[in-house]
Amino acid sequence: MTIAPSSELAALATARHKRQPVVRPMSCAGVFYPADPGAYASALGALSARVRGLAARPYKAMILPHAGLAYCGPIAITGYRSIAHTAEIKRVVLLSPAHRLAFTGMAVPDAEAFDTPFGPLMVDLPGLAQARRLPSVTLLDAAFDREHGVEAHFPLIRRYLPQAAVVPVVLGAVSRQAILDFLHWMWGGPETLIIISSDLSHYLDAETARGRDTETVTSIERLDAAGLTAQQACGFRGIGALMDRARALDLRPLRLDVRHSGDVTGLKDRVVGYAAYGFEPAETAALPTAVAQELIKVARQALRYAVARGRAPEGALETFPEALRTHMRTFVTLEKAGQLRGCIGTYEPANPLIRDVVQNTWKAGFRDPRFKPISSDELADLTVSVSLLSTPRRMAITTEAELIDTLRPGRDGLILTGDGKRAIFLPKVWSSLPDPRAFVRQLKLKAGLAADHWPEDMKAYHYVAETIS
């Protein structure tokens, strides 16, 4: 929700411009990051070789780590570079768990700016006033004393988003629902970026940490907050609320980087896990071009391998970019001379993207019961496309007529379930079935239902898909 500035908010902004703002000094400098701008810039340069850069995307929300720069720097920088200098972002709403002070609710500061090695980071006073209208939010400046969960981000925000002001929030003992209400209240439009500050597992050996962090990031990618605890992520409350919000708004998470401190420092005895994620609307979500090209290249290679060996290839996930390890729903479509030659996919994000696509490519070529297995002499004439599905959303319809009226031709994919049967059409099917009535009836036939039958337990789910070819 975006609230138009009231006279009270406008007065706050005007008053600040008439005098020097009250700047809160750095309290974590020298421990979590260098206080000297030259030393900080040098540290960024030294860490840049370990940064897994991706093309910029218009992420609406992110999960980023907050440990010392020497430990989580490459992971945090990977995230910030993906939204660096995005002109539309004027406000960063930053939520961190409390590490120093025990309290109830959500705390905001009374500072007008926070000092950083790169100059003061301004507080968005109208945004702060907006946040304070919620009963769960209170002015508690003590919550920001040596609170690295927010302060570790301030220099990076100042560096990579110099035009943005910040609304920093420290989370005490507060319900996920209260945080979800806060996110709804402060969500805004493209001018607002939401950052959930959190590390993952803490002080485990490298092997144990990797296993636990794998479970955690799998939950994030499946937007499944059930069972998420402080042992998995110190910012579990904020992450859980963001996952709920992402599911409600159909945001798609993309893994930008997942590593632990031992991967950065080489010290593997007691490591801390870190993750960088970007969330963007599924309607417009797109893999970075280089990543998409690699995905389709691997799919074609998998098809050639399957024709030669009769099985799907196997490969180590570590050899692929982090984005291709994100758990997603995928469908692989094979076509020959414009005609369908095989199509198989998964309804749930059960596997990392690259593994799912390799398996579904093999199944589309050899396990689609509608077609005979692919032969080697067909390879040159086959085209391969990969569809990345958003979270299916239940449609509020009770009749076929309502469904037909609600569908968006050319955009919506559709899943129908009823009488114990299920079938799916990808959005690309609209090119051959542009009429919504025909689209629905053909899907019922595909499910094994009569075209004129509407089961009492019929449910319809729509989704969108990014198609890569």
Shared-domain flag, residues 34 and 174: yes
Q: Do both 453 and 365 map to the same domain? A: no
Overall residue count recorded for the chain in this entry: 469
Alpha helices in 48-187 (DSSP H): 69-81, 125-131, 148-151, 154-160, 176-186
CA atoms of 329 and 344, how far apart (whole Å): 11
Do 298 and 364 lie in one domain? The reply is: yes
Mean pLDDT, to the nearest integer, of 141-152?
97
Confidence (pLDDT) at 18: 54
Secondary structure class of 197 (helix, strand, coil): strand
User: What's the average model confidence in pLDDT over 293-301?
Assistant: 96
- Residue 2 inside a domain? The answer is no
% of residues, the chain, pLDDT over 90: 91
Look at residue 399 and tell me if it is in a domain: yes
| CA–CA separation, 190 and 187 (whole Å) | 9
Report yes or no: 197 and 149 within 8 Å, Cβ to Cβ.
yes
Q: Which token pair is 225?
A: 């907050």
Q: How confident is the model at residue 31 (pLDDT cuts 50, 70, 90)?
A: very high
Residue 184 shares a structural domain with residue 212 = yes
**CATH value at residue 61:** 3.40.830.10
Residue 362, H or E segment: helix 353-366
| Number of compact structural domains in the chain | 3
Phi, psi of 31, rounded to the nearest 5 degrees: -120, -55
* pLDDT value for 3: 41
* CATH assignment at residue 452: 3.30.1490.150
pLDDT at 6: 43
pLDDT reading at 178 higher than 60: yes
Coil, strand or helix at 4: coil
Q: Of 338, 373, 389, which marks where a domain is finished?
A: 389
In the structure encoding, which two tokens stand for residue 279, read together? 């969330």
3-state SS assignment for residue 385: strand
Q: What is the C-alpha to C-alpha distance for residues 5 and 13, in angstroms, rounded to an integer?
A: 10
3-state SS of 391-453 is CCEECCCCCHHHHHHHCCCCCCEEEEEECCEEEEECHHHHHCCCCHHHHHHHHHHHCCCCCCC
Give the range of the structural domain holding residue 143, as residue numbers without chain letter. Answer: 7-281
Residue 373 in any domain: the answer is yes
pLDDT at residue 97 greater than cutoff 80: yes
Token pair of 5 as six digits: 């500035």
Residues 277 and 379 in one domain: no
Q: Are residues 212 and 274 in the same domain?
A: yes
Asked whether residue 257 falls in the same domain as residue 295, the answer is: no
Looking at 389, 407, 441, the residue that finishes a domain is: 389
Give the CATH number of the domain where residue 339 resides.
Answer: 3.30.700.20
pLDDT, tens digit, for every residue of 232-284?
Answer: 999 999 999 999 999 999 999 999 999 999 999 999 999 999 999 999 999 99
Mean pLDDT of 195-209: 97
| Per-residue pLDDT at 424 | 97
Does 75 share its domain with 110?
yes
Residues 210 and 308 in one domain: no
Per the domain annotation, does 1 fall within a domain?
Answer: no
pLDDT at 230: 95
Q: Are residues 199 and 64 in the same domain?
A: yes
For the chain, first and last CA: distance in Å? 37
Q: Residue 19's pLDDT is what?
A: 60
Q: What is the pLDDT of residues 375-432, one digit of tens each?
A: 999 999 999 999 999 999 999 999 999 999 999 999 999 999 999 999 999 999 999 9
Q: How far apart are CA 287 and CA 280, in angstroms?
A: 11
Could you identify the residue written with the tokens 């570790």? Answer: 152
Question: pLDDT tier at 48 (50, 70, 90 boundaries)?
Answer: confident
- 64 and 203, same structural domain? yes
178 and 304 share one domain: no
Q: Tell me the pLDDT tens digit for each residue of 312-329.
A: 998 888 889 999 999 999
Q: pTM score, two decimals?
A: 0.93
260, part of any domain: yes
Give the pLDDT of residue 21.
83
Is 372 within a domain?
yes
Assess if residue 236 is contained within a domain: yes
In a domain, 314, yes or no: yes
Of 350, 374, 389, which one is at a domain's C-terminal end? 389
Token pair for residue 76? 């945090």
